Structure 1
Amino acid sequence: MRLFHFSDDAAISTFIPRPVLVPSQRAPGMEWLNGALVWAIEERVDFMYLFPRDCPRILISATERTNEADRTRWLGAYRAVAYIERDRLREIATTALHRYHLPNDSFENLQDAGMWVSRIAVKPLRCDMLSDLPAALATRGVDLRVVDSLLPLKGLWQTTLHASGIRLRNARGWA
């Protein structure tokens, strides 16, 4: 399995554990996830981070419990769908990201949407630049859908799909 970290910084020689900028409510015993960590994502779901860091987005994909009606209505023939606000499209089209390949040995699997964390510093194995993010999404079978607002999509969490909201605090009108 391959683990990655995406960044707009091309010169990271060592990832130093750091606390999250905006702590989240965590289940009892899991509060340590707001502490100093290095975060990584599995290759199978790396599409979730093919966006500028602060870009709000909603990503959906099927799971083993997804029913055919939700799959057909929301995904069609795609593996996954990513929704962004219209005013972020230019930023996505012009941003280059750096994909850092990370060694697996110090990472712990969170059993949550392909997320892994390391409690110690990590030296990347190598770094690739991705300059066409919409094309990178397309090659992974992800449909990029542009909407005026993400707010009408709040109901996606009530479907049988897996829904992830990333940086939604930056979405217009999201509370």
Structure 2
Amino acid sequence: MEDTIEVFKEYYTYDIISGMTRNYIEQIPEKAFREALANAIVHREWDLPSSVQVAMYKDRIEITSPGGLPAVLSQYEYLNTMISNLRNPKIADVFLKIDLIEKLDTGVTRIKEAYKHFQRKPLFQVNENSITVTLPLITQASHQREYLVMKELENKDLCSRKE
């Protein structure tokens, strides 16, 4: 999990330095990424000969967990309530104790909360044998333009205000 988060930070976060101020920019909310990854590991079906998959694209990240919803949990309950049927309570307990998750049964809610101020929202695709969470980029175009301008200015000694 830690290695995956390091790759995430390398490709989906950056700093913009303006004068004496450094701004940390997340292209995808790190909180949502951590939560989706931890949920995929904790709630996966370990009997399936498959792995948690993290696919990183230019405009999104898709995290796929082996195993669909437990039979006692509806898609509505999964997406809209804090009801959970813990498949792997021992793994969940370990993740809770080492602070990889904050509280049980709140993962989907936390992912949605991380996106509440953004136009693009996460998608949850529930299949019979897998669950995929898609986390879209949230970076506003203004941040991207600012980043490109700063990169361009780094290569110049002096320039006028108009330039």
Identify whether the pair has TM-score above 0.5, normalized to the shorter chain: no
Higher helix share: 2
Highest CA radius of gyration, 1 or 2? 2
Higher share of residues assigned strand? 1
What is the TM-score with the length of structure 2 in the denominator? 0.28
The structure showing larger relative contact order (alpha-carbon pairs under 8 Å, at least 6 residues apart) is 1
TM-score, with length taken from structure 1: 0.27
